Amino acid sequence: MNTGKDPLLWLVRQRYGERWTIRRTEHLWIATAVDPDPDHAPTLVEPDVEVFVQQLEDPPARVGRSHSLLAAPWFAQRLTELAEGAYREDRP
């Protein structure tokens, strides 16, 4: 949605835009943490704006791994480089 036509979206972005990238669809409010490795849920999705704002203020706990499986440091710790672009994992 265009923030020029959505003053509520504009207000939420003004208040929380330093920590979250915020957008919305016709039925959902969506926020993604700006920090690539937050200590809380990295993404919030809510249909109710009041619940959404509460979660922006106090995000729920992160679920699952504390790091992305695509993170370079994670791969570097687990893989052995055999040749340029070729890696092997020694663990089962």
Res. 90: pLDDT tops 70: yes
In the chain, the number of structural domains is 1
Res. 3: pLDDT tops 90: no
Confidence of residue 1 (pLDDT cuts 50, 70, 90): low
Least confident of 37-41, 42-46, 48-52: 37-41
Determine the structural domain holding residue 27 and report its residue range.
Answer: 3-89
| Residue whose structure tokens are 């992160």 | 62
Strands 86-89 and 79-83: antiparallel
What mean pLDDT is predicted for residues 23-42? 92
Res. 31: pLDDT tops 60: yes
Rounded to the nearest 5°, which phi and psi values hold at 73?
A: -60, -35
CA distance to 12, 22, 27, per residue, from 17 (Å)? 7, 7, 20
Res. 44: pLDDT tops 90: yes
